Chains A and B, each alone.
Chain A
Amino acid sequence: MSVIGVEGEERNNFTTAESKQIRARSLRLLGSLLRPVRWRVTAAMLIVVLSTAAQVAGPALIAYGIDRGLPALLAQDWLPLAATGGVYLITGVIGAILIAWYTMMSARISQAVLIDLRKRVFLQTQRLSLEFHESYTSGRIISRQTSDLDAIRELLDSGINQLVQGLLYMAFTAIALVTLDGISGLVLLGSLVPLFALTRWFQVRSQTLFRRSRTASASLIVKFVETMTGIRAVKAFRAEKRNEEVFGGLVEDYRKVNGRVIQLFGIFDPGLILIGNVAVAVVLLLGGFRVVDGQLAIGALLAALLYTRRFFDPMEEMAMFYNSYQSAAAALEKISGVLEELPGVPDPTAPVDLWEARGALTFTGVRFEYQSDRVVLPTFDLAIPAGQTIALVGSTGAGKSTLAKLMARFYDPTDGQVSLDGVDLRRLHPKDLRRAIVMVTQEAYLFSGSVADNIAIGKPDASPAEIVAAAKAVGAHEFIENLPGGYDTDVNKRGGRVSAGQRQLISFARAFLANPAVLILDEATSSLDIPSERLVQQALQTLLADRTAVIIAHRLSTVAIADRVLVMEHGIIVEDGAPDDLIDGTGRFAQLHAAWRESLV
């Protein structure tokens, strides 16, 4: 059994082999992320070793100053004291500078890694097929890009810093102490036993608590975002009170779990202090006797005490490292899953260029199914000559949109091939494909940016005059002029209120400007009012004159401009012919058309 891609993301019951596989996948990702910055990582390691050594030197220097400098000064030799003071000053300054340098460097490294990872996730998200996005909701993609990346940032930024610095600090302190005074060193080693036990206990307990805290905060955010995006419906249906209750419950859960986390610290922190203080007391006791006996210099005792006290400082942060490591590891596992997904519509390995597309579409032996048990389109052949305008008609779920998506290569057929001017779409260079075939859908989506930007997506190098011309051609010019900022109105800002119909007009202008060889309109006029639709249809008549067009419409008014009508039912093309012929016949289309005429009154 193996787990590939995002599959199993919601599961918690992995077998050992699966967990191992997932971990190996995360590690591979981490390795590939760190490889480009490996020299900088090495340099940063060197710096942190040096700076920690400089920091740890302090107490030893104090001991030296007292034990050697003082007697020398009494003998009128000020040199050892001055030297000690000087060295202390220098190590202090250098240590601080190195730490600052290291902080900068590690920030640069972690940012480089993060930006690399962000781009990879973004690219991958774009590359994956619509099929993937239909099941993997945008909310989940967003949390991959935000909270998961944040967890990794946390680990890279502070987690690893604290771990490396803390470990080195403790190691150097222990070494210095052992060199300085063996007995104090033994005391310190002895204190490691309760220290280890306490930390282990903390880790085990905090791991579950932190996981629960993360889940609680995630559901809090989801609830909040959903309520805010659907605020109109929330208000109109008086769901505020119930939402408050649900949200109150979630907040309460979050508070409770955080309270327990704090309780845990309430035990851990005093525990650490207790162990530290006992160790200091023992070192003082044992050392004090030896100083009285003359076996130990007073300065050495002082240094031993300082080392023992400092030894425990980084402990708490290091215990926390495990948690940030845990959440980062979980995040990395999910991200590596997304990155592992194979695009359902892969880019061709040896792309064929098609500079001037004529627009002839051919389906040869095409069959399409989502999963192997759900055939959407049974095997069929279809040829659409260049320049023909096709209307696709049929009830919801008949497979019209699927057919259109196959033409635009949002999906690849399960069997057979779809080709443009004789070239299999799968072999066509993606740039040429997207330039030649443009699809306008029912859900006209606008990007943040100005209205002009949104139109220009169809042709990024378009001049303002071209943009205005495109808007005029589809009848969008007038309402755009009336927006607070005209063409520069930001569609996402307040004041940039654009209705569903206006959004569709903008996306029509976008398609008009893109000027493709094949234009696919999937319910593209559904939100337009009739005068706008009329304008769009007039524009379409010129726009569609010399290009291949496929129009899917619920409303038969659009069909009037088609050369040929395809009626679909249950994934099968049941009628195919010129509109007038079909209307005069007795088939499905004739019935639909009659019903529609009636509805016009």
Chain B
Amino acid sequence: MLKAFGRGGFALKNFSQQAEDLRGTEIEKARAIAGIWLWLLMVPDVAFALCLVAGVWLAAQGELSVGGLVAFFATATVLRWPVESIGFLLSMTFDARTATDRYFDVLDAPNSITDPDRPVTLAAPPGRLAFEDVHFRYPDSPARFPDLLDGVNLVLQPGETMALVGLTGSGKSTLTALTTRLYDVTQGKVTLDGVDVRAFGREDLRGHLAMAFEDATLFSASVRDNVLLGRPEFAERSAAADAALEEALQVAQAGFVRDLPDGVDTLVGEEGMSLSGGQRQRIALARAVAAKPAVLVLDDPLSALDVDTESLVEAALREVLASTTALIVAHRPSTVTLADRVALLEDGRITAVGRHSELLRTNEHYRFVISSLEDEERRDATRQNAREEAAR
């Protein structure tokens, strides 16, 4: 990115500044250590010099034997080392105290998202997902802003695919994060088959719902492990695991992994092969599909794919979606067509739910959000024609 703008010098200046700051701190630290050394070395030597004069004087007076004097110095020398190290032990103690404080800061941070005392379990939830008067605001958002989600009501019937459409920043991604309790609602509730998601154990809940994010994170592990992340039972290789892996890769059109140096065992992520955005997205999608959840939550999962691949993925996804409840955040008409119904998120609420064609016809805001430039031009042209005709 920096290369693209040729601002390497700008970055270097920033970096140099930070490096200089660090140097300043280090020198400051060295100064403090030098100060400690100064006193730790000077004080014993001064004391020794004084003791020497005093001891010899006392010995001359006959109040101290020469043997006693020798014993004194031999003992005092033994003490030197502990005295010298005590200063360092002290400064180490201070360091350790700061570290301990920070450690406990982290450890004591309350986890606001916790398991209930008596979690509800569902063996095979059909997958009815409902948002009931859901409110949400980020804890650090300024008071002058209204809640990001301001009373969302939406019901997904079992097996239904719902597209979620709205402007950038309207809270679509946040709404999806509420389903698996990456965040908790501030008011209202999200329910899965009638049970508040907060009543499930998180482990259990996240087994029922699987997500794919628009920024696809892969871990430093093989493609296989990344895809089967949501299936702990497939941690060991088995025929069933291979089948699940194949199926998920097939749906996500991620066949390219077979051309990687070690196929599905190629290491990806930070420590492995670097993949393109579209490739990462497809693996992340395969991961969500492989989890075989009751509810699939996809946050703009196809944004980095080209038209051809996108339509192939859509065709494969359709089969999966036929039997799975799904909430799909969509930016594109093509993604919207995957859905049975579309929900429009506007000003923190669901303002319209319906079929794509229906909303296109009836809802001005929906048209604004989803219809493409050309469509608009076409409409303008039609309107123009109509007007001209009317004038005639």
Contacts and interface: CB of A to CB of B under 8 A. Distances in A.
A517 to B, nearest CB: 13
B135 interface: no
A88 B49 contact: yes
Interface residues of A, number: 124
A267 B33 CA distance: 30
A93 B45 contact: yes
Contacts of B10: 457, 460
- Give the interface centre of A92, A122, A441 by most chain B CB atoms within 10 Å: A92
B369 A126 contact: no
B106 to A, nearest CB: 12
Given A91-B45, A92-B46, A310-B77, A592 B215 contact: no
Chain B contact residues: helix, strand, loop or mixed = helix
B384 interface: no
Interface in A514-541: 514, 523, 526-534, 537
A123 interface: yes
Contact of B269 (A96, A108, A226, A529): A226
Interface stretch (B94-102, B155-163, B191-199, B271-279): B271-279
Interface in A61-109: 61-62, 65-66, 69-70, 73-74, 81-82, 84-86, 88-89, 91-93, 95-97, 99-101, 103-104, 106-108
B48 A601 contact: no
A482 B347 CA distance: 13
Interface string A39-67: 00000000000000001001101100110
Given A66-B69, A233-B229, A410 B3 contact: yes
A92 B278 CA distance: 70
Residues of B in contact with A, size category: 35 or more
Interface in A494-531: 494-495, 497, 499-502, 505, 510, 514, 523, 526-531
Interface stretch (B56-64, B120-128, B243-251): B56-64
Contact of A100 (B38, B182, B303, B376): B38
A65 B52 contact: yes
Contact of A523 (B168, B304, B376): B304
B1 A107 contact: no
A58 B45 contact: yes
A479 interface: yes
Interface in B146-184: 166-169, 173, 177, 180, 182
Interface in A104-141: 104, 106-108, 111, 114-115, 118-119, 122-123, 126-127, 130, 134-135, 137-139
B235 interface: yes
Contacts of B278: 396
Contacts of B357: 601
B323 interface: no
A301 B5 contact: no
Contacts of A458: 5
Interface in A554-601: 554-557, 560, 592, 595-596, 599-601
A89 B168 contact: no
B15 to A, nearest CB: 5
Interface stretch (A203-211, A237-245, A330-338): A237-245
B50 A601 contact: no
A119 B370 CA distance: 48
A119 B12 contact: yes
A495 B140 contact: yes
A426 interface: no
A441 B203 CA distance: 38
A298 B46 CA distance: 23
A411 to B, nearest CB: 11
B41 A95 contact: yes
Contact of A395 (B50, B52, B308, B331): B308
Contacts of B217: 229-230, 232-233
Contacts of B262: none
B93 to A, nearest CB: 19
B348 interface: no
- Most A-side CB within 10 Å, residue of B33, B74, B306: B306
B6 interface: yes
Interface stretch (A184-192, A320-328, A431-439): A431-439
A310 B331 CA distance: 76
A479 B168 contact: yes
B180 A236 contact: yes
B333 A599 contact: yes
Contacts of B142: 484
A466 interface: no
A557 B207 CA distance: 39
Contacts of B368: 531
B15 A88 contact: no
A537 B7 contact: no
Nearest to A527: B303
Interface in B207-227: 207, 209-211, 213-215, 217-220
Task: List 8 A-B pairs, minimum CB-CB distance, nearest first.
Answer: A434-B6, A92-B45, A107-B30, A96-B42, A88-B49, A85-B53, A96-B41, A100-B38
Given A62-B48, A66-B66, 13 more contacts: A93-B46, A96-B38, A97-B42, A130-B3, A226-B220, A230-B217, A396-B309, A457-B10, A534-B373, A534-B376, A554-B305, A557-B372, A560-B373
Interface of A: 55, 58-59, 61-62, 65-66, 69-70, 73-74, 81-82, 84-86, 88-89, 91-93, 95-97, 99-101, 103-104, 106-108, 111, 114-115, 118-119, 122-123, 126-127, 130, 134-135, 137-139, 222, 226, 229-230, 232-233, 235-239, 241-242, 298-299, 301-302, 305-306, 309-310, 313, 395-396, 408, 410, 430-431, 433-435, 438-445, 457-458, 460, 479, 482, 484, 494-495, 497, 499-502, 505, 510, 514, 523, 526-534, 537, 554-557, 560, 592, 595-596, 599-601
